[in-house]
Amino acid sequence: MNVLYGLYGADEGEILVDGRPVVMSSSADAIRLGIGMVHQHFMLVDTMTVAENIVLGAESGSPIKLDMDEANRRIRALSDELKLNIDPTAYIEDLSVGQQQRVELLKALYRNAELLILDEPTAVLSPQEVEEFFAILRRMKEQGKTIIIITHKLDEVLAISDEVTVMRDGKNVGEVRTSETNAKDLARMIVGRDVLLRVEKTDAHPSAAVLAFSDIHIKGKHGSAVNGVSFEVRAGEIVGIAGIEGNGQTELIEALAGLARVDSGSISFEGSDVTNRSARELKELGIAHIPEDRHKRGLLLASDLAENSILGVHYRPPVASSFGLMDSGAITKRVTEIIENFDVRPPNAALPAKSLSGGNQQKLIIGREFELKPKLLLVSQPTRGVDIGAIEFIHRKLIALRDGGSAVLLVSAELEEVTALADRLLVIREGKIVGEVDPKTTSTEDIGLMMTGG
């Protein structure tokens, strides 16, 4: 899709638009040909208005003064036509994530896009927002727009698409009419084998509490991020946190991982106060962390798999001697065990981490943290951007860790994932825990309403 949108150049082959071969040298070429793209991570300026964001790069009027009145009129007309309910004069920072996504759609439509590419468009939406978003896409389809959705959510593929193209290892492995397929067949095409589409687990048998948050307050980039949060996690259970991204989940996890500072309140681990302890100290106590952003927080992309496998333990035996000398044999043993036990492919410890697929990068991180045999595992977005086969594998590993007596604190934007894995589910909104539910007896619709305050 990045080639089609002009962000990357193709090495071979050709692109046909309306039957004519075209060359995409930049996104400007794609836009001129009526192609628009909404990226998974929105490209908006928080401190500017909706209209100002939309006209960036497509300004009308004189070079000295933009005709913002005309821009506002056009944007409002587009919004009304598709029932988007977006005010052109509103500031981006005051909009919900779902509203910001609609702004991205308006940005493409303002540039007269006839073909829209949407990358993981529902990744940060609540169930109610997904339904509203799909209604918008159906209205766009009725207007004659062509829409390409990149997603790994099979239920959504079946709900919204007319045709499905499946890619595996960079190749097109099949095209089917949506009405003639099902989730099981699509999963088999994606992975190349049968896949278990549901999480299989027995009931948890938790013991003593190992983690306790007490009236935690944390400041974020734009004010208070966490406001008076209190809860416990016990050994032998998975506690999930559900909420729309940006509601304090990241700050909570990073505070316990030693990556963010608690402003007031306390964190207790196995009865000891660990508030604002360093990441190294917390790891020494038996707390492992799988971060939400594997590129920024989880891996050294230019370093090889062996070097990445020892991050966090590189200073201590058996990887290093008391004099700080590295033991190459111990490092080789460690990375080999991770590669074998967590099915990291290709199984070459000398490869740089950046050469692995997203799923294999994630399995490398999970393997490294599991090797610590943690008493408590903090895991954020464990299956973001990975294929369905890797999702199945990661879920089984998390359940096995729980069954082995470890405590797991799980944050996921995938509501189906967190409800399937969690034994207890906390719902967070605007930095506060607004409820605790049993995921076995509470519908995703009800949880979604709690997430949005509906």
Report the 3 state secondary structure along 259-280. Answer: CCCCCEEEEEECCEECCCCCHH
Query: What integer pLDDT is reported at residue 185 of this predicted model?
Result: 94
Q: Is 1 within 8 Å of 150 (Cβ atoms)?
A: yes
pLDDT exceeds cutoff 90 at 1: no
Beta-bridge partners for 274: none
Structure tokens at 205: 């048998």
Structure tokens at 29: 């070429």
Return the minimum-mean-pLDDT range out of 25-29, 392-396, 450-454. 450-454
DSSP 93: G
Q: Is 424 within 8 Å of 438 (Cβ atoms)?
A: yes
pLDDT exceeds cutoff 60 at 381: yes
Contacts 24+ apart (CB under 8 A), 82-90: 82/109, 82/136, 82/139, 82/140, 83/135, 83/136, 83/139, 84/136, 86/50, 87/50, 88/49, 88/50, 88/51, 88/54, 89/49, 89/50, 89/51, 90/49, 90/50
Separation between Cα atoms, residue 238 and residue 230, nearest integer Å: 16
What is the H or E stretch that residue 252 is in? Answer: helix 249-256
Query: What integer pLDDT is reported at residue 385 of this predicted model?
Result: 72
pLDDT exceeds cutoff 50 at 417: yes
Please state the separation of Cα 242 from the chain's center in Å.
13
Amino acid at site 125: L
Higher-confidence residue of 452 and 288: namely 288
Query: What integer pLDDT is reported at residue 62 of this predicted model?
Result: 46
pLDDT, one tens digit per residue, over 204-257 is 999 999 999 999 999 987 789 999 999 999 999 999 999 988 899 999 999 999
Return the minimum-mean-pLDDT range out of 25-34, 95-104, 111-120, 295-304. 95-104
pLDDT exceeds cutoff 50 at 270: yes
DSSP 256: H
pLDDT, one tens digit per residue, over 352-372 is 999 998 889 999 999 999 999
Query: What integer pLDDT is reported at residue 65 of this predicted model?
Result: 57
**For 404, what's the count of Cα atoms within 13 Å in the CB-facing half-sphere?**
14
pLDDT exceeds cutoff 80 at 123: no
Mean pLDDT estimate for the chain: 92
Asked if the domains 15-150 and 209-452 are classified in one and the same CATH topology, the answer is yes
Strand-pair category, 146-150 with 163-168:
unpaired
Separation between Cα atoms, residue 262 and residue 252, nearest integer Å: 9
What band does 308 get if pLDDT is binned at 50, 70 and 90? very high
Q: Is the dihedral angle over the CA atoms 418, 424, 426, 427 positive or is it negative?
A: positive
CATH number attached to the domain at 209-452: 3.40.50.300
Query: What integer pLDDT is reported at residue 61 of this predicted model?
Result: 47
CB atoms within 10 A of CB 20: 8
Domain 15-150 matching CATH 3.40.50.300: the answer reads yes
Please state the separation of Cα 258 from the chain's center in Å.
21
Tokens 């359940």, located at residue: 399
Query: What integer pLDDT is reported at residue 124 of this predicted model?
Result: 73
pLDDT, one tens digit per residue, over 175-196 is 999 999 999 999 899 888 887 7
The torsion angle over the Cα atoms of residues 142, 148, 153 and 158, rounded to 10 degrees, is 40
Tokens 């032998």, located at residue: 236
Q: Where are the domains of the chain?
A: 15-150, 209-452
Strand-pair category, 272-273 with 264-269:
antiparallel
Separation between Cα atoms, residue 126 and residue 451, nearest integer Å: 7
Query: What integer pLDDT is reported at residue 64 of this predicted model?
Result: 45
Percent of the chain having pLDDT more than 70?
Answer: 98
